[in-house]
Structure 1
Amino acid sequence: MKDREPLLQTRPRFVVAGTGSGSGKTTVTLGLMRAFARCGLKVQGYKCGPDYIDPAYHSAVTGRSSRNLDSWMTSGSYLQEYFLTTSEDADLSVIEGVMGLYDGKEDIALTGSTAEIAILTDSPVLLVVDVRSMGRSAAAIVLGFQQLEPQVRIAAVIVNRCGSEGHYRMVRAAIEAACGIPVIGWLPRDSGLDIPERHLGLLPAVERGELEPLFEHAADLLAEGTDLERLLELAAAAPALQYPPEPDAVLQAQGPSLSSPGILEPGMPVVTETETPDSGSLPALEPASQEQPVSAGPPLSSPAARIMPADTSRPAHRPVQPVIAIARDAAFNFYYADNLELLERAGARLAAFSPLSGEGIPPEADGIYIGGGFPEEFAAVIAANSLFLDGVRAAAADGMPLYAECGGYMVLARSLTDRSGAVHKMAGIIPAHSIMQERRAALGYREVTALHDCLLLKQGGRLRGHEFHYSGMSYIPGEDRIYAYESKGRGGSQPEGYISGNIMAAYAHIHLASHFPAAGRMVEACLTYREQKKQAKQRL
């Protein structure tokens, strides 16, 4: 564990929240991020909740790896420290909300909501309001959002989908008179700002630069219609923060509490009324001399190494680092950055490889992690990569630890049926067929409990995660199947996933920070496999 920082930490920041899904918060977030980045600021993006696509947008517009903040899957103290650690070298942090400001896991509480994260990070909120076909009623909406939760500080408003500049002036006057906060910008109704459907393989389009015209257009409109200087002043006036106290024994042993929301846990930000950052500390808003670079995704590096409690049961410096192969390309790209960092903190060395580029499992691998993504969009290419599929089969047969979730789970099946009905042969490790369907199959938070000892958990151990998929897994009758988890969501509980020896696969995208020992357990399994492989070679 790193030394705790005793001083207050200056972090210019704001949260972009919407009144509901579809209000335009992603468009506003991307436009503001690009506008500030074009002015030479180092902008650090964050996304509230379990989302992989919006962080990819953030990374594309800022040139920096965006990160997730989740107050249900991780503890409040973890979230606070992770935010402070990963924003350390940024000029400005922009936190994009999820759904509406107060929408979360619970019907009558803030658990997992944008509002809870705004409170945990003590961030001012920029509220995005869709004012189509609306006049003074827009003020009633903002006033209701102000009054629902006194701890949430709505600092300013941007109105979206205005019919004209005159419409903007009308709703601005109404909101400012009734609510006492500034309306600092607006966007017109513009089909050029429409972001494509989220489930159709957007990340490859981001990587190819196909969404650059949308990003630039949003930045142009917001730079023209928004008082960026005033928004920066609001961000710079955000109260200084302090690193939370040392995690307690329960956190070190078990991760965050699985019974109470993060906002009720100890470790709230330490804030003072008098010690706030000086707005003059931000760079002046001048055009940058060079284009911002585009990031392909979070690097395999370890800010979370400063956060995860040290495992005192093993030496601090491992003499040997087991290698975990990470499938990472346009088909497999749904990874929480801190999941990878926590595996590194637990002692692993990560080696990325690309099945879409024809690559197989790296020969030095002692374990494999295949994340989610869009394998259905590239099923023919994956099926044609015998080096990858044969390598996965051979690794599984040899007992190498293999963890797969969602898209990775699909690829371990015997076949994958894509949206057009075409059937593609997959690895065949799991006795099932993965079939895409038109309607969404699952969406929502999951708390999973291990039904048996497995790669990540002891029997009865719990992790938190999220499901979002359009496929179903059809298991072959009569074939052996051992469920990985009992998975609990809003609709109840059911057994889910598959385990066999060192193989573990399921639909849930789990967050390793919800139970710190899980990362160490996987790394330990990889180390054991490495040592067994070494001994086998010595016997030859």
Structure 2
Amino acid sequence: MEDPCAVARILIAGTHSGVGKTTFSIGIMAALQARGLDIRPYKVGPDYIDPSHHSAASGRLCRNLDSWMLPPSALVEIFCRSARGADIAVIEGVMGLFDGLSGLDDSGSTAEVARILRTPVILVIDAGSMARSAAAVAQGYARFDPTLPLAGFLINGIGSERHFAWVREAIETAVSLPVLGYLPKRAEITIPERHLGLIPAAEAGGKTPIEALRREIEETVDLDRIVAIGRTAEPLTPPSGGEGLFPAEPFPPAAIIAYARDEAFSFYYPDNLDLIEAYGGELVPFSPLAEPALPSGTRGIYIGGGFPEIYAERLSANRPLIRSIRSAAAAGIPIYAECGGLMYLSEGITDRSGRFHPMVGIVPGRVRMTGGLSRMGYVEVALAHDGPLGPAGLRARGHEFHWSETEGDLSPPAHRVIFPEDREEGYAFGNVIASYIHLHFGSNPALARNLVSACLKRI
């Protein structure tokens, strides 16, 4: 085993979705970063958009910590590998503190991640329509699972200093844990949204109120006490080099893998990219919106998720790159696409106004935007055929979240879904595999090894 990983850390959880976890997390990250602290941001769960705001607020790449997609040892390894040297790690939870895959236990929940990573929890309560009743909420959470390292509270929706004083006194009397601060009811410290949730930070630009949040947090939250709580976290012991997800020594770069990275495509688990590089892939970004050709020497292509429907006209207009990708596919170069990537590789996208935009066309069928959420949730899959990600039957876990549907016959399928129900999903033929599912390579690092190996065969 490696030396213990002694990193100060806190986990900001909530009583429910929409309670203000992201707002507090962004503000606290920005305020601590402004003090000169080296912050490492994390997000519980599979979400891609919140992490973009965390990265913008902290100046550091945010990573996902998901206890359903990843086994406990992998969760500890990913955290320790990325958090070493930090002054403090700030982890934002998902949904309510105890919400996960079951109504009977906390599997896949924020609480489970807090236990695995031995991290003090600070709970956000919305007291916008409460005073002393907030103490009953706090007491309920504290008593529901006394083994959880609950360390304090943050209060959202405060109407006045007097309101906060009432809430604070009530909670601290009932629970004997500190109330560490509050945020007022204020429209200018909310984050813009669209159909997949919050708008990514790079796209929101000046509309994301990071500076306003930082100033507010500096006035209303006890940052010194939060850091002190973080320093009470117990050390963690990650797997030794070579016994976990990553090889003991990274492989030398051996195959250029072009990956789509621009406003239309930005949804990648950072650990997927790290694993590809660790096993010898040389990742080179390219823009499907702006560049006329794939990077020179490309031996593999990875197209992640994003918002291709928002940029469909521009993507469709970049015919030189589309021809470049078609040529790569015809030459047998391995291509792996997830969600937005599948949409881009299809024959085309019909947007919400009914307008059709031709796309790459190496995946049969069209994609149509729907008026609502088509699928959302965790999935476990087995590869349906031998291909760039590995042999048929190889299992992995991931997440699916999309507001579109495919039209036409997508066969042969990429995956056999084995959880939560039995179905075929995606498209795989020869060197191409495309799916709505975002796989986490940490659920099975053989995916990264196999992808790089498939690319090496093209050299």
Category of TM-score, reference length = shorter chain: over 0.9
Structure 2 residue matching 1:234: 3-state secondary structure = helix
Match of 2:207 among 203, 207, 211: 211
Kindly state the Cα deviation for residue 205 of structure 1 after the two structures are TM-superposed. Answer: 5.4
Q: What's the CA shift string for 1:439-489, capped at 9, x where partnerless?
A: 01111101011222222131111110001110111115xxx7201111244
1:381 matched to 2:314: yes
% identical equivalent positions = 44
Aligned to 1:235: 230
Aligned to 1:513: 442
Report the TM-score, using the length of structure 2 for normalisation.
0.96
Paired amino acid for 2:329: A
The question of whether the paired residues in 1 share the 8 Å contact of 2:192 and 2:199 is answered with: no
Structure 2 residue matching 1:41: 3-state secondary structure = coil
Kindly state the Cα deviation for residue 186 of structure 1 after the two structures are TM-superposed. Answer: 0.7
From the superposition, tell whether residues 200 and 510 of structure 1 become closer, same or farther in structure 2 (CA, over 3 Å). closer
1:498 matched to 2:431: no
Match of 1:338 among 240, 250, 271: 271
Q: What's the CA shift string for 1:497-525, capped at 9, x where partnerless?
A: 00110100000000111111111111111
Paired amino acid for 2:434: A
Aligned to 1:145: 141
Match of 1:350 among 263, 271, 283: 283
Q: What's the CA shift string for 1:315-371, capped at 9, x where partnerless?
A: x856x7011111111111100111011111111111111112234211210010000
1:124 matched to 2:120: yes
The question of whether the paired residues in 1 share the 8 Å contact of 2:345 and 2:359 is answered with: yes
Match of 1:22 among 15, 18, 27: 18
- Could you list the runs of 5+ residues in structure 2 that have no partner in the other structure? none
Kindly state the Cα deviation for residue 66 of structure 1 after the two structures are TM-superposed. Answer: 0.9
Q: What's the CA shift string for 1:279-310, capped at 9, x where partnerless?
A: xxxxxxxxxxxxxxxxxxxxxxxxxxxx5146
Cα separation, 1, equivalents of 2:203 and 2:56: 8
1:482 matched to 2:415: no
Q: What's the CA shift string for 1:389-409, capped at 9, x where partnerless?
A: 111111111111000010000
1:424 matched to 2:420: no
Kindly state the Cα deviation for residue 198 of structure 1 after the two structures are TM-superposed. Answer: 4.4
The question of whether the paired residues in 1 share the 8 Å contact of 2:293 and 2:321 is answered with: yes
Cα separation, 2, equivalents of 1:201 and 1:22: 11
Counterpart mapping for 1:49-68 below 5 A: 49-68=45-64
Kindly state the Cα deviation for residue 227 of structure 1 after the two structures are TM-superposed. Answer: 1.1
The question of whether the paired residues in 2 share the 8 Å contact of 1:15 and 1:97 is answered with: yes
1:5 matched to 2:5: no
Cα separation, 2, equivalents of 1:33 and 1:74: 25
Paired amino acid for 2:299: D
From the superposition, tell whether residues 42 and 246 of structure 1 become closer, same or farther in structure 2 (CA, over 3 Å). closer
The question of whether the paired residues in 2 share the 8 Å contact of 1:331 and 1:356 is answered with: yes
Aligned to 2:168: 172
Paired amino acid for 1:347: G
Structure 2 residue matching 1:133: 3-state secondary structure = coil
Mean CA deviation greater in 140-149 or 492-501 = 140-149
Equivalent pairs, count: 459
Aligned to 1:261: none
Q: What's the CA shift string for 1:111-166, capped at 9, x where partnerless?
A: 11111111111110110001121122211111121122233111010110012111
The question of whether the paired residues in 2 share the 8 Å contact of 1:56 and 1:203 is answered with: no
- Could you list the runs of 5+ residues in structure 1 that have no partner in the other structure? 253-306, 531-540
Mean CA deviation greater in 221-230 or 331-340 = 221-230
The question of whether the paired residues in 1 share the 8 Å contact of 2:44 and 2:66 is answered with: yes
Cα separation, 2, equivalents of 1:465 and 1:322: 25
Cα separation, 2, equivalents of 1:107 and 1:247: 36
Report the TM-score, using the length of structure 1 for normalisation.
0.82
Q: How large is the Cα RMSD of the aligned pairs?
A: 1.9
